[in-house]
């Protein structure tokens, strides 16, 4: 026996944002347990192309869990059944022979469907452009040890910066909230000296853009943290809320 599997795939197919979509059933045969989920979809698409059918459209790029492009909802969970991995890091050994696998795009009005499983997540880019950077002149590149930053703060800033912007937090949230993503991008700068001059302008601008994009409100159920492939913490949301309300209570030159 080869140990390979035969699966039934129920894949969401939709021509564009304005058209009506539906699930289409495909058979995935002779699937190696060592394949990644995206490799399995590649094989299915090769079969569709050979038959003259249109392949399944889905987002991908680095396939190393870094870029956040592989935004698939698999059997009701963002990125599938494994904890702490993106879809591209998910291997077919996580499934069983004969299993039915349901594959959907992120479901959020702020992430409109481009085609099939591919969604437009440019809302995240616009939130980042609203304030997720340091624009003030901070001088030349300092020596690594010139600015004293406690290790616990540096580690926390780095943990926030590991957010890959995949949108799993939005897909997991019952309100399609982007609070975990935005708070991570706010926190990674709010924790460091370089981010202090624009700290309160930044949080107001990014939250305003998040609301303008149509993301829902946070109710602190924690689904976002549970499904995040890199484990971004809910403490970032608490930090962002503190900064936001501080900025609203005081004039910028007073905080």
The matching CATH number, chosen from 1.10.510.10, 1.10.10.10, 1.10.1060.10, 3.90.1300.10, for 123-254 is 1.10.1060.10
Report pTM. 0.92
Res 1: pLDDT: 42
Arithmetic mean of pLDDT, 81-95: 97
Percent of the chain at pLDDT above 90?
88
Distances (CA, A) of 56 to 18, 95, 166: 18, 20, 20
* Sequence-separated (6 or more) residues with CB below 8 Å from residue 240: 179, 182, 183, 186, 187, 190, 203, 207
Determine the Cα–Cα distance for residues 131 and 228; give it in Å rounded to an integer.
23
CA distance 110 to 182: 14
Q: Name the nearest CA neighbour of 190 among 133, 143, 119, 125.
A: 133
Q: What is the pLDDT of residues 117-140, one digit of tens each?
A: 999 999 999 999 999 998 877 667
Q: Where in the chain is the domain with CATH 3.10.20.30?
A: 5-114
Q: How confident is the model at residue 93 (pLDDT cuts 50, 70, 90)?
A: very high
Mean pLDDT (the chain) is 94
According to the model, what pLDDT value does residue 143 have?
A: 67
Average pLDDT over residues 35-47: 98
Which pLDDT does position 148 carry in this prediction?
Answer: 82
- What is the per-residue pLDDT across 235-255, written as a single tens digit (0 to 9) for each? 999 999 999 999 998 865 555
- The candidate with the shortest Cα–Cα distance to 139, out of 131, 147, 130, is 147
The per-residue pLDDT for range 176-229, each reduced to its tens digit, is: 999 999 999 999 999 999 899 999 999 999 999 999 999 999 999 999 999 999
**Above 90 in pLDDT, residue 168?**
yes
**Which residues on neighbouring strands pair with residue 73, listed in sequence order?**
78, 104
Two structure tokens written together for 60: 């991908």
Residues of the chain with CATH 1.10.1060.10: 123-254
Q: Give the start-end residues of each E strand in 32-136.
A: 73-74, 77-78, 100-104, 113-115, 118-119
Q: Which CATH superfamily is domain 5-114 in?
A: Beta-grasp domain (3.10.20.30)
Asked whether the beta carbons of 92 and 28 are under 8 A apart, the reply is: no
Mean pLDDT lowest among 106-110, 137-141, 170-174, 210-214: 137-141
């Amino acid at each position: 026996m080869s140990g390979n599997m035969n699966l039934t795939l129920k894949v969401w197919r939709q021509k564009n944002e304005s058209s009506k979509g539906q699930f289409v059933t495909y058979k995935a045969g002779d699937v190696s347990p060592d394949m990644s989920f995206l490799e399995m979809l590649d094989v299915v698409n090769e079969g569709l192309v050979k038959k003259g059918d249109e392949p399944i459209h889905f987002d991908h790029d680095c396939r190393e869990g870094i870029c956040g492009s592989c935004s698939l909802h698999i059997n009701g969970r963002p990125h599938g059944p494994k904890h702490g991995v993106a879809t591209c890091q998910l291997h077919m050994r996580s499934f069983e022979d004969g299993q039915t696998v349901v594959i959907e795009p992120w479901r959020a009005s702020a992430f409109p469907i481009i085609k099939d499983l591919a969604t437009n997540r440019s809302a995240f880019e616009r939130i980042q452009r609203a304030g997720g950077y340091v624009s003030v002149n901070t001088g030349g590149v300092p020596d690594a040890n010139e600015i004293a930053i406690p290790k616990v703060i540096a580690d926390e800033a780095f943990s926030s910066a590991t957010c890959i912007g995949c949108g799993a937090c939005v897909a997991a949230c019952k309100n399609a909230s982007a609070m975990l993503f935005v708070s991570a991008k706010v926190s990674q700068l709010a924790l460091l000296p370089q981010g202090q001059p624009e700290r309160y302008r930044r949080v107001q601008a990014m939250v305003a853009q998040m609301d303008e994009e149509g993301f829902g409100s946070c109710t602190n159920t924690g689904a976002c943290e549970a499904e995040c492939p890199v484990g971004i913490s809910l403490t970032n949301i608490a930090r962002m809320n503190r900064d936001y309300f501080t900025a609203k209570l005081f004039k910028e030159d007073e905080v």
